[in-house]
Every structure is written in C-alpha cells, then in structure tokens.
Structure 1
C-alpha cells in the first residue's frame, strides 16, 4: 500500500511528531509532503528513510501551490492520501481528488471549542473546512472530545472515526543516568525539586501559571520548560519580575528522538530530569505531553487532557486535575514534594495508548476506505 501524508508544516509540534511516529510503525510505504516549514521533524523523517517533499505554499490563497501538489500526488501513484492540520486538509483533499485519488483520510489533531490550531474560529474557516471535508472518505478524530466537536460543527457521524494518538512508551521510561545527564546539561542541582512543563508557548497553555506557582515554592525548586512560541518573551519578563530568573530554564524545542548530530537532551531524557509535570493548558485536544510524563513515571497536575478524561480515573492514579490558578498549583506541588518521590510506576493509561495499537487502528481505517466500507 502506497500512502502519501500531507501536513501543513514539519516544525516541532505534537501533530508533526505524531506523524513521524506513525510512519515508523505503519506497515505501508509512506511518503510525506509538507506545505510550509520543512523543519526539525522533516529532518527526522528523512533520517528515518522517509521521502519528504516540500511543496511551498505562500498563504491560503496560493492556488498555484494547489496544482503543484496535484502534480506530486498524480506522479506518486498513491493508493491513499492522508492529510494532517487545517491547510493540508483543505488543499490536500482538493488536490487528491483532482489527481484521481478517492481514498482520502484526514486527521483532526487540534480542533478546540473556540480555536483551530491556535486561530480563532469563524464562519469562513468552518465553511471551507466542511466544504472540503466532503471530498474525503473519513475524518479521524484523535479523541472522543474532538469527535464530539466535529459532530457539533456538522461533520456527519458516519464519516468520523476515533483513532487516538499513540505513544512509544518504552522510550520514555525513567532512567537515572539520563536524569543526571540532563540536569548537568541545564545546570540543575541533583537535589533540586524540578517542576516540568512541555508545549508551545502560547496563551492557552497557561505556562505563566506554572511560573507563578514555582515562585511561591522554596528556593531550591526549579522550573524546566520545553517549547517555543510567541509567549516566550512575556514568560521571560514574568520570570524577571518575580525574581526567579536563576530558578527557571527555558529549554526551547527539543527532538522527540535522539539527534545524533547534537548533544542536547531529547524529550525522554528531559522527562527523566523532572520530578513532576505541570500542564495547566485549557484547550488540549488529547494531552500527549501528559501521557509522556506518565510513561516516565512522573506525577502530573493538569487542567485539560482528553486522553485521561475519556478513560476511568483508576487508569491514571498519578494524575490530578486542577481547575484553578497559580495558588492551587503551588499547593499541590508542595504536597507532592512533601510526599517524596514515588516508584516511577507506569499506569495502565499509558499501555492503552501504545503506538502499536494506534497504528493497527489506523490501518483498519485505511483498509476500510480502500475497500469502500461505510462506517456505522
């Protein structure tokens, strides 16, 4: 089976990293096209032996790019086209149909109640999305929460299929050597209590809540925050105003898999350096960082994580949902610190979202689409 994945960009991000992980595990011959930003994940895919093509698109009105994309699809003689993220889903579905490919699947990674991939939803975005959604066969939602939003938008229930994000749990298993190496790399004392945060530095992630919570904690508490984004300077300003610049490390974007060309820690190594993960974001569509932290045996304080909320609470005993601000997070962080380190046990929820299971579910979708099977 020849499958073409089309994605808006391949910079560091959850959907982009998930695509790389899926391609590694899908029993199909996969190529990838990116419309913008052939960045760090594109390099990783190429290192994995995946053919990555950049079809540059200069904005949502670049019609010429649509025809270039159509030509690439036609030349590849693909059995199925799978699109990811808004721009790729809109233009990829059109291009696939123009190229004569009717087996088209789209994954909706980032639809929230009021935003889509960070942009505020409006009638125009919704109308264009729904018009092009009809050109595909199935829209995959990464959680039941996203599936419910798609139904509310007007996507027919029979065209929606839930395939959750997958996790390579063994990669994130706690490692004492990695802990020491990462702490040494970032200048963190071995005996410090390290609060972690992972994600795009955007308002919806609410990392300012974690910064203010850490400022309320004892002086040997550190914050290790991985990610980049438009809120970085505002966070740095808050850190300076609170007088905790020497207690905060902004690590920037990190690879999810080891980079043989660099010496910076990857995400799994970073998680081993932490004592707890704080995830106060309010617009999560899945909660992959929360799952990765649980796979590393960390306790987690979170505000929104559909991956956990869609399963019984006993599957993730190390996770606690908080709905307040910095004071509540600080109080719970102090409680966890006083309780001391746990045994780094991996909860059942992590096994539920294994990448092998996700890839099998997605292959079932591909097979059904190619055979003309109707869902439900």
Structure 2
C-alpha cells in the first residue's frame, strides 16, 4: 500500500510529528511505501527529522518557497502524480481541503482520510471552514479525531461523514524514556548544576500555550528562595507574543533564569534534563507533548482543562488553574520538594505501535471500499 501524509508545514508540532512518526512505523514494519508532503517549505529546525525520514526510506517533498492557493494545488497535484498514493492522510483542515480539491483535477479516486488536530477540539468553528467542509465532506473516505469532544463537534458543525472515528495520539515510548546519561550531558552543555531545578515547557510560543503563566510562577518560586530556572522550547508562532514574553522576563529581572530554546529536535533529552514538566495550556487537542512527558516519567504540572484529565490516571501528574500564578508556583514547588524522581507509567495504549495499527486497519478499510466501488462500477452493480 502506498500511503501519502499531507501536512501544512513540516515543523515541530503535534500534527506534523504524528505524521512523521506514523510514517516511520509503517515504513519499518513494511506495511507500505510511505510519503510525507508539506504544502509549505520545511522549517530549518525540522531539517533533521526530514533527513532522518528520508534515510529510513520515507518519500518526502515540500516546495522551496511559499506558494499561493493556485500554486499549492499545482504542487499537490504534481506530487500526487509522482507518488501515486493508494490513500491520502491529510492532517488538519487546510491540508484536508487542498488534498481533496487537488484530486478533483485528476482522474484518480484516491480515498482521503482527514485527521483533525485543532487545540480547540472544534476544527470547523469558523463559518468559511465549515462551509468548505460541508461542500467537500463527501470526498472524505473517513474523518479521524484525536478526542471524542472533537468528534462530537464535527457532527454538530458538519453532520455525519462517511466514516468517523477517534484515534488518540501516540508516540515512540522508547525514544522518550528517561536516560541518565542524556540528563547529565545536556545539563553540562547548558552549565546547569544538579542543585538547580529545571522547569521545562515545550510548545510553540503562542497565547494558547500560556508561557506567561510559567514566567510568573518562576518569579514566585525565586522569591521563595528556590534555585530554579525555566526552559521554554518551541517555535515562535506568534512573534508579538514572543516579544511580550521577553519583555515580561526583563520586567521581573528573570533574564538569567529563563532560556528561550526555540524549536528543538532533542525534546527527549530536554525531558531527561528537566525536574518537572509544565503545561499551563488554555487549550489542547490530545497533546503529543503530554504523552512524551508521561513516557519520560518526569513529574508533570498541567492546567485543569478537560483534555488533560486522562493524564491524572498516572502517578506524578498534578493539575492546577494557572490563572493564579501563586497556586501554579505552589504546585510546581510541591512536586519538586517531593523528590520522587521518575515515575513508572503504563502507556501501552498510547504507544505509536498501537496507534499505527489502528491507522493501518483504517487504511485497509478505506482502500478496500474504494476497490470494491471500482469493481462494482465496472460490473454495472448499483
């Protein structure tokens, strides 16, 4: 089977990392020939991931420059002709719309699986997107959501598609397991003494990720006499918010205590170096970053949003409303003082192998349905 994943921009973000990891697994298990196509150019920080995929035999393609709407359609159409997929997996609403539109300019009847990733769990809340989905819905062989909330919202906004199912995200659990050597190496590289506690937050710099709450909590912890620093890893999605964060850091005299690490390919090592992982997000889908942190065993302090409730089943996870930075700081401090080290967590259901098997079963289903439809059409069956 030839499987084509389509993402908007190859970068360190949940949807893109899921596509890349699924491509790795399905290639290594010889389930099929796999490709990953970006509609926008690959971000430099994602280059190592892109290169690794190619080394493992994954077909990768993205344009050299940003394209307009018509240019995107031409590019996708050209790549589909080169790769000749049996199934297209479009991650998020924009790739889903472009992939289905591009197919209309070909003679192929390739099934398209749309995967919804919006942090709001309400991908089609916008009127224009909702209208486009209602028009294109019949061209989707299946719609996958990462939470049941997102599935319910899809039905509410767009009606019932041909196939709708929920497949929670997963990750390579072994890749994110705790490694003492990685911890020592990275802390030495950053010149962080073992007596200093590292608070890590991973996520794009955006108001929805709420890094400002972590900065304010750090201020409170330092005032209480803790030896601690904050690492913020993630691409800058909102430059104005990134600038505001840096001003907030300077305003409170925290410049030597906050590290803006940018987009990083070594999140697994960052998790090993950290003493606590924080997620004060205002909204999330089924966060891949949360699963990575759970796999590492690091203590976690997260916001009290419903999507994080699943994590409370595991040891070493605390939720708090970060709107009160004092309560947020107190929760982080309590976790640090507990000094439990790493926690053992059974995440089998969130392993990428398990998730990949569920996607493989879906791909078999939709391609079989397409083949049956073609056969019956040839036989004149109605």
Q: What is the TM-score of this pair, normalised by structure 1? A: 0.87
Q: 1:1-376 counterparts in 2 under 5 A?
A: 1-26=1-26, 27-39=31-43, 40=46, 41-55=49-63, 58=66, 62-99=69-106, 100-110=108-118, 112=120, 121-156=125-160, 159-217=163-221, 218-229=225-236, 230=238, 231-255=241-265, 266-303=266-303, 308-309=308-309, 311=310, 313=312, 315-325=313-323, 326-339=325-338, 341-348=339-346, 350-372=347-369
Deviations 1:5-59 (A, max 9, x none): 1111102212111111110111211112211022214334223332212246856
After superposition, the Cα gap between the structure-2 partners of 1:212 and 1:182, relative to the gap in structure 1 and judged at 3 Å, is same
Worse-matched range after superposition: 125-134 or 214-223: 125-134
Is residue 33–residue 55 contact of structure 1 (8 Å, CA) maintained in 2? no
Structure 2 CA distance for partners of 1:157 and 1:83, relative to 1, 3 Å: closer
Deviates further, 148-157 or 278-287: 148-157
Task: Work out the CA distance in 2 between the residues paired with 1:292 and 1:106.
Answer: 24
Query: Does the CA-based 8 Å contact 2:41-2:63 persist in structure 1?
Result: no
C-alpha change, 1:152 and 1:38, in structure 2 (3 Å) is same
Superposition RMSD on alpha carbons, in Å? 2.3
Residues 168-199 of structure 1 show CA distances to partners (whole Å, capped at 9, x for unaligned) of: 11111112111111112222222111111000
- Structure 1 segments unaligned to the other structure (5+ residues): 256-265
Question: 28-37 vs 73-82, which deviates more?
Answer: 73-82
CA distance in 2, matches of 1:346, 1:68: 46
- d(CA) in 1 for partners of 2:53, 2:365: 27
Structure 1 residue 85: deviation in Å? 2.3
Of residues 274-283 and 158-167 in structure 1, the stretch that sits farther from structure 2 once superposed is 158-167
* Matched-pair contact (CA < 8 Å) for 1:102–1:136: no
Could you list the per-position Cα deviations for residues 264-321 of structure 1 after superposition, in whole angstroms to 9, with x for gaps in the alignment? xx11110011111110101100122122112111111112566643x484x3132122
Q: Deviations over 1:303-344 (max 9, x none)?
A: 2566643x484x3132122124211111111211222x2141
Q: Is residue 142–residue 285 contact of structure 1 (8 Å, CA) maintained in 2?
A: yes
Q: Deviations over 1:118-138 (max 9, x none)?
A: xxx531122123322321110
Kindly indicate whether the alpha-carbon contact (under 8 Å) linking 2:217 and 2:326 is maintained by their aligned counterparts in 1: yes
Structure 2: runs of 5+ lacking an equivalent = 373-382
Number of equivalent positions: 355
Distance 1:87 1:33 in 2: 13
